[in-house]
Amino acid sequence: MLQSTLNFRSYFRTLFNSLTALITLFVGLMPSALACSRAVYLGLDNLVIAGRTMDWFNDMGSNLWAFPRGIERDGAAGSNSIRWTSKYGSVGTAI
Q: Give the angle subtended at the CA of 16 by the CAs of 13 and 18, to the nearest 5°.
A: 110
Residue 36 designated active-site:
yes
- Cα 83 from chain centroid? 33
Q: Which of 36, 42, 47, 91 is catalytic?
A: 36
Q: Are strands 72-74 and 38-42 parallel, antiparallel or unpaired?
A: unpaired
Phi then psi for residue 32, to 5 deg, are -65, 160
Active site residues: 36
